[in-house]
Amino acid sequence: MPQVKRALVSVSDRSGLVPFAQRLSRLGVVLLSSGGTGRHLREHGLEVVEVSEVTGFPEMLDGRVKTLHPKIHGGILAVRDNPEHLQQLKAQGIEPIDLVVVNLYPFRQVLARGNASREEIIENIDIGGPALVRAAAKNYAYVGVVVDPADYSAVAEELEANDCRLSEETRAALARKAFEHTADYDAAVAAYFRSQFAPLT
């Protein structure tokens, strides 16, 4: 079981986040974050490494581009027992990311308000978040992914009890939930587009 040493945290739903991040920090896990999530964690006394420090690029395009970078996705997607992958990480100065804690922009909530403009609805279509979630879920053999705040406590308990490691069973279960999360999200976005725009003829 790989040990969790670095976690990327970027959430819209911050329920229970601070206690979870505090438990990770007490275990010695380095927290990477950006934007509002990073500010929120720092406001609660947690040390956070900005994603821009890792990538060498600032957030761009009003936050549309933050984590879409090889130094983030390479760190998530590398196969940890593949010597060529590890050599490539080293050559590019990329450190592995072992835990991804991400939930997506509140697209459904904005839509449900009933008074949001089309521009606001479109801006709440998450791009970087699903990419992070899917990358981590694909690489579940080495990376944990948490999309549901209801899972924070169980994940923290397992890390605390097992030298900061998650079992393969846990990682696989979290990956299944992650793919369900992104599939449901994409279905909601597709339904919105169906409701707004005529099909191709």
What is the secondary structure of 19-69 as a DSSP string?
HHHHHHHHTTPEEEE-HHHHHHHHHTT---EEHHHHHS---BTTTTBSS-S
Indicate whether 1 belongs to any domain: no
163: domain CATH number is: 3.40.50.1380
Q: What is the largest CA-CA distance in the chain?
A: 58
Q: 194: which 2 tokens?
A: 């169906």
**Total structural domains in the chain?**
1
Indicate whether 201 belongs to any domain: no
- pLDDT for 97-152, tens place per residue? 999 999 988 888 888 888 989 889 998 888 889 999 999 999 999 999 999 999 99
H helix or E strand, kind and range, residue 9: strand 6-10
Task: Read off φ and ψ for residue 90, nearest 5 degrees.
Answer: -60, -45
| Burial (Cβ within 10 Å: 0-12, 13-18, ≥19) of residue 97 | buried
Indicate whether 25 belongs to any domain: yes
Residue 34: give the domain boundaries: 6-196
For the whole model, what pTM was predicted?
A: 0.90
Neighbours of 35 (CB within 10 A): 15
Residue in the structure block whose two tokens are 């944990």: 144
Partner residues linked to 165 by β-bridges: 3
Indicate whether 149 belongs to any domain: yes
Give, as one character, the DSSP assignment of residue 149: G
Q: Residue 201: its pLDDT value, please?
A: 65
- pLDDT for 70-100, tens place per residue? 899 999 999 988 999 999 899 989 999 999 9
C-alpha to C-alpha distances, 151 to 39, 176, 187, nearest whole angstrom: 23, 13, 23
